[in-house]
Amino acid sequence: MIKSMTGYGAAEREGFKVEVRTLNHKYLDVSVKMPSYLMEHDLTVRKQIKDAFERGKVDVTISQADRRQKKIKVDAELAREMYNAFSVLQKELALPGKLDISFFAGSREVLMSEEPDANPESIFEALNEAVSKVEEMRNAEGLALEQELRQRLDKVDKSHLEIGAAAKNFLPVYRDRLQKRVSELMTNGLPDETRMAQEIAFIAQKGDISEEIARLGSHISQFSSFLSSGASIGRRLDFLCQEMNREANTISSKVDDIAIINLALDIKAEVERLREQVQNIQ
């Protein structure tokens, strides 16, 4: 089953919340945001993400779910020394006013925030749960994507088969053109053999799209096979879309039959829609 690259999952453990968001990206791009006192666990978090995902943009946010866990710590000894020092300074300089509790309100040295205890194992458990929820969402979206891709691939295959049938009917037309060109070259006597060979080869090659039809059929078959596999197939499907588009372009440029050209254009349109959806597949 294929997987989408879009998903979201969140989990909480012991006052900490872990959120994981994933989006399309050509390669694996991991971004981690967490409180500064948890930064020592950054590498472990990134490793868990790299073990879980092969590609895509992954944003991980770790935050405190309960703000009340954060406490304020007072350095009473420092406050006493500061008070005594400024009292002496006030007397020496004969400064007016009174030193009170407001004196310490803006002192970051005296009033310090005490970070809550953090159990890293609980955070990693929450990360695993969030990743599992992301996977559930990506699998569900992948199933919907697969159904849409198969429907569009069926349309491409239908047009491909119609081109094959139309090309068989069109061969006699090219045969007549070849005979007509040979007759024109021979109206003034025997033509130069080299020129004759060049003209015949050009006309024959111009109307022969059998190789393009065969390659297009092979690409369609491979695309369908990859959809049935459980591997990471996004890049392979994107490559096949490029190749199918290339064959459709070649077919439309080699023939002047309006029916075949329109079918080739239909293939190009469906392949472009396929490619848009393929960008979101892991």
Residue 222: pLDDT over 80: yes
Instruction: Give the CATH number for residue 28.
Output: 3.30.230
More confident residue, 231 or 119: 119
Are both 38 and 133 inside the same structural domain? yes
Residue 85: per-residue pLDDT = 83
- pLDDT score at 213: 95
Mean local confidence (pLDDT), 245-251: 95
Is the pLDDT score of 79 beyond 90?
A: no
Average pLDDT over residues 151-158: 97
CB 122 within 8 A of CB 12: no
Name the helix (H) or strand (E) containing 31: strand 28-33
pLDDT in the model for residue 155? 97
Same domain flag for 126 and 244 = no
CA angle 46–29–18, rounded 5-degree value: 45
Residues 45 and 93 grouped into a single domain: no
Domain contains 257: yes
- Considering the domain architecture, whether residues 127 and 206 belong to the same structural domain is answered as no
Query: Would 51 be classed as within a structural domain?
Result: yes
Same domain assignment for residues 150 and 270: yes
Please tell me whether residues 250 and 152 are part of one structural domain.
yes
What average pLDDT is seen over the chain? 85
Both 25 and 80 in one domain: the answer is no
User: Do 267 and 158 belong to one domain?
Assistant: yes
> Is there a domain that residue 171 lies in?
yes
Q: What is the mean pLDDT of residues 205-232?
A: 87
Residue 1 lies in a domain: no
**Domain identity same for 162 and 260:** yes
> 32 in a domain, yes or no?
yes
Helices (H) and strands (E) in the chain, counts: 7, 6
Confidence label for 68 from pLDDT (cuts 50, 70 and 90): very low
DSSP per residue, 115-170? PPP--HHHHHHHHHHHHHHHHHHHHHHHHHHHHHHHHHHHHHHHHHHHHHHHHHHH
Whether residues 61 and 148 share a domain: the answer is no
The percentage of residues in the chain with a pLDDT greater than 90, rounded to a whole number, is: 51
- Reported confidence tier of residue 244, pLDDT bands at 50, 70, 90: very high
Tell me whether residue 37 is in a domain.
yes
> Please, which pLDDT band fits residue 242 given cuts at 50, 70 and 90?
very high
Q: Does the pLDDT value for residue 269 go beyond 80?
A: yes
* Under 8 Å between Cβ of 239 and 275: no
Q: How confident is the model at residue 119 (pLDDT cuts 50, 70, 90)?
A: confident
Please check whether residue 206 lies inside any domain of the structure.
Answer: yes
- Say yes or no: 146 and 271 in one domain: yes
pLDDT class of 91 with cuts at 50, 70, 90:
confident
| pLDDT band for position 101 (cuts 50, 70, 90) | confident
Q: Are residues 267 and 149 both part of a single domain?
A: yes
How far apart CA 102 and CA 79 sit, in angstroms, is 12
Total domains in the chain come to 3
| Pairing of the two strands 56-64 and 28-33 | parallel
Residue 245 pLDDT > 70, yes or no? Answer: yes
For residue 174, the enclosing domain spans 142-278
Q: What confidence score (pLDDT) does residue 161 get?
A: 96
Predicted structure pTM score: 0.69
